[in-house]
């Protein structure tokens, strides 16, 4: 039987705040950490800010990257193996009165959750007298996203999972819908409809979000010029990245880098 452990199990650094209705944390996990099967007594919403990990749950295994949102009910057994970069994860644990709106367990890519998790991290690092109400508001927004997330019943068809993997792997290169459809063996119209039904967005919008997530990860991890990062993740130039970063994350790339590092 899996042991019950605190949400901070294995974290090398933790920032924590209790606000009305929620326990909110920013957790920094070391590289190559393995957490054997365990469970938490409280339901949890987790969003990966940086790095990633392989997760194993009763509903399936999967790789969690920046922008991944994980919904775990209380007592859900799981194991984690972190990448060589470790991971920074924001967690929000609602109290019993709110836990009923948590939604189905599962994981999904949610760029809007990444933007909110970044705001949580910023509030925890640079706290003032308005931090509690700010964290309560952001936590409620994350709870609403989690209530609509989760893994769809039956999961995705193999061709759809492969199409998603290709977008995740080749995000920095131009991708044509007809070529992607041919590679996974379906008609382009079938791919477009199935992708939107499963992910809630078109292939093009999903690709743009992947590029923004990868840019966010590079901004947090190093000091490469923003213009170089923009080109490396597939944007035409720095202004192109800037426009979509602000739209999806809610901040400029430069300010995101400074505030995520607590500067």
Give the residue-averaged pLDDT of 207-225.
Answer: 87
Let me know whether 217 and 255 are in one domain. Answer: yes
Let me know whether 52 and 142 are in one domain. Answer: yes
Using the predicted structure, report yes or no on whether residue 59 has a pLDDT greater than 50.
yes
Q: What is the pLDDT of residues 172-197, one digit of tens each?
A: 998 899 999 999 999 988 899 888 88
Give the CA distances from residue 257 to residues 47, 48, 69, 219, 223, in Å, rounded to whole numbers and listed in that order.
Answer: 18, 16, 21, 5, 9
Let me know whether 141 and 11 are in one domain. Answer: yes
Let me know whether 173 and 104 are in one domain. Answer: no
On whether residue 16 sits in a domain, the answer given is yes
Residue 59, token pair as written in the block? 């509903």
On whether residue 153 sits in a domain, the answer given is no
Q: Which of 148, 178, 212 lies at the terminal end of a domain, its last residue?
A: 148
Q: What is the DSSP string of 41-83?
A: SS-EEEEEEEEEEEEEETTEEEEE-TTEEEEE-TT--EEEEEE
On whether residue 218 sits in a domain, the answer given is yes
Residue 159, token pair as written in the block? 């061709």
Using the predicted structure, report yes or no on whether residue 154 has a pLDDT greater than 60.
no
Strands 22-29 and 60-64: unpaired
Q: 88-97, 154-163, 170-179: which has the minimum mean pLDDT? A: 154-163
Q: For position 262, what pLDDT does the model report?
A: 56
Domain containing 77 equals 3-148
Let me know whether 128 and 211 are in one domain. Answer: no
Using the predicted structure, report yes or no on whether residue 150 has a pLDDT greater than 60.
no
Let me know whether 169 and 200 are in one domain. Answer: yes
Let me know whether 143 and 163 are in one domain. Answer: no
Task: Give the CATH number, domain containing residue 193.
Answer: 1.10.10.60
Q: Which of 97, 124, 148 lies at the terminal end of a domain, its last residue?
A: 148
**Contact assessment for residue 74 and residue 41, using Cβ atoms and an 8 Å cutoff:** yes
**Contact assessment for residue 45 and residue 143, using Cβ atoms and an 8 Å cutoff:** yes
Name which of 250, 253, 255 is nearest 233 in CA terms: 253
Task: Give the CATH number, domain containing residue 68.
Answer: 2.60.120.10
Place of tokens 């967690």: 91
Using the predicted structure, report yes or no on whether residue 151 has a pLDDT greater than 60.
no
Q: For position 153, what pLDDT does the model report?
A: 42
Domain count along the chain: 2
Let me know whether 131 and 191 are in one domain. Answer: no
Report residue 263's pLDDT band, with 50, 70 and 90 as the boundaries.
very low
Mean pLDDT of the chain, nearest integer: 88
On whether residue 212 sits in a domain, the answer given is yes
Using a 10 angstrom Cβ sphere, with 0-12 exposed, 13-18 middle and 19 or more buried, the burial of residue 34 is exposed
């Amino acid at each position: 039987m899996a042991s019950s452990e605190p949400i901070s199990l294995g974290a090398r650094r933790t920032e924590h705040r209790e606000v009305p209705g929620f326990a909110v944390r920013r957790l920094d996990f070391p590289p190559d950490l393995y957490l054997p099967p365990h469970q938490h007594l409280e339901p949890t919403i987790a969003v990966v800010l940086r790095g990633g990990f392989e997760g194993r749950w009763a509903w399936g295994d999967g790789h969690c990257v920046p922008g991944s949102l994980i919904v775990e009910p209380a007592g859900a057994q799981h194991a984690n193996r972190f990448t060589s970069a470790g991971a920074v994860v924001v967690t929000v644990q609602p109290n019993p009165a709110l836990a009923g709106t948590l939604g189905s367990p599962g994981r999904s890519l949610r760029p809007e959750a990444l933007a909110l998790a970044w705001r949580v991290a910023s509030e925890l690092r640079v706290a003032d007298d308005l931090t509690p109400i700010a964290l309560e508001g952001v936590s409620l927004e994350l709870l609403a996203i989690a209530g609509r997330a989760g893994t769809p019943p039956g999961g995705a068809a193999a061709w759809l999972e492969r199409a998603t993997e290709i977008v995740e792997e080749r995000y920095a290169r131009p991708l044509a819908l007809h070529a992607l459809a041919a590679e996974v063996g379906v008609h382009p119209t079938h791919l477009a409809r199935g992708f939107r039904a499963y992910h809630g967005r078109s292939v093009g919008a999903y690709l743009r979000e992947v590029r923004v997530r990868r840019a966010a990860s590079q901004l947090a991890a190093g000091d490469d010029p923003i213009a170089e990062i923009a080109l490396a993740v597939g944007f035409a130039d720095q202004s192109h990245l800037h426009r979509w970063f602000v739209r999806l994350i809610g901040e400029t790339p430069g300010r995101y880098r400074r505030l995520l590092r607590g500067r």
